[in-house]
Structure 1
Amino acid sequence: MDRLIKALNDYPNGTLLVVEWIDDLKIEGVIDTIYETDNRFEMDEDGYREYFACALRVKAIVSQPADTKNIQLNSLIEVSSINPPSKICLKDGQPIWGNK
C-alpha cells in the first residue's frame, strides 16, 4: 500500500473529503472502499502493475474542467497512484494529503 492510500486508510468508509487534482477538478466525496486492482494489462505484459485504490462517491462537484464531463453526482471516482490528487482535505479543511 503506497503513502496516499495509507493516508486515506486512516479514515473510515463514509468520511467526507474534499479532493483536488492539478487539472482543476475539485470534488467533495465520501470514502466508499479501498481495494486492490491492476492497470488492466495482462499479467505477462510489460507494464503490468497491481496497486491499491480508493473509490470515492461524488457528493458535490466544486469545479470541473470541460474535458471531465463524465463525472456525475453519486458516481464513483478512483483515487490512486495512477490518478493521484494534488490535495485531499477533510470537509473542515484539515489536510490529509498533498499541500500540508
Structure 2
Amino acid sequence: MSIHREEVVSVLSRYQNGTLLKVIWDNGEKAIYEFETMYDSTNGLEMDDPNYREFHLALFKEYKNPNNFIEVGSGENIPIYIEVLDANEVIWDIQNKC
C-alpha cells in the first residue's frame, strides 16, 4: 500500500490549498474535505537508523466539521476515490487507476 500513499500525495500536490474534494475511503465512508496543506514528515526514527523514512503528507479539513483533520499518506489513510468538486474531475480512483 505504500506505493498508493506516494501516488495519491503526488496527485494532490498539483492542487491549491482550499480545493474542495469529495473523498471516498476504503471503508465506504464519504465526505467533503478542503485540501489544507502538504508537508514532510518522518517515521520518528533517528536519521542514522537504517529504517528511517521520510515521506510527504497531505492534510484535509472536513468541510462540515472544520475542527476535524485527517492526514493522507500516513498509515492506512488512503482514499480509494477523490473528485475535485469545482471541476467535476476525478483525480484519484484506485479501482480505475486514475
Please indicate the TM-score interval, normalised by the length of the shorter structure: 0.7 to 0.9
Amino acid in structure 2 at the alignment position of 1:90: V
**1:27–1:40 Cα change, 3 Å:** farther
Q: Distance in 2 between matches of 1:77 and 1:8?
A: 14
Q: Which residue of 1 aligns with 2:85?
A: 91
TM-score, normalisation: structure 2: 0.74
Structure 1 segments unaligned to the other structure (5+ residues):
61-72
Root-mean-square deviation (Å): 2.3
Query: Does residue 1:28 correspond to 2:32, yes or no?
Result: yes
C-alpha displacement of 1:32 = 0.7
- List alignment gaps of at least 5 residues for structure 2: none
Question: Which residue does the alignment assign to 1:78?
Answer: 71
Aligned to 2:63: 59
Over residues 1-53 of structure 1, what are the superposed CA-to-partner deviations in whole Å (9 max), with x where a residue is unaligned?
Answer: 93211211111000000111111222111111000012334545665432111
CA distance in 1, matches of 2:71, 2:13: 14
TM-score, normalisation: structure 1? 0.72
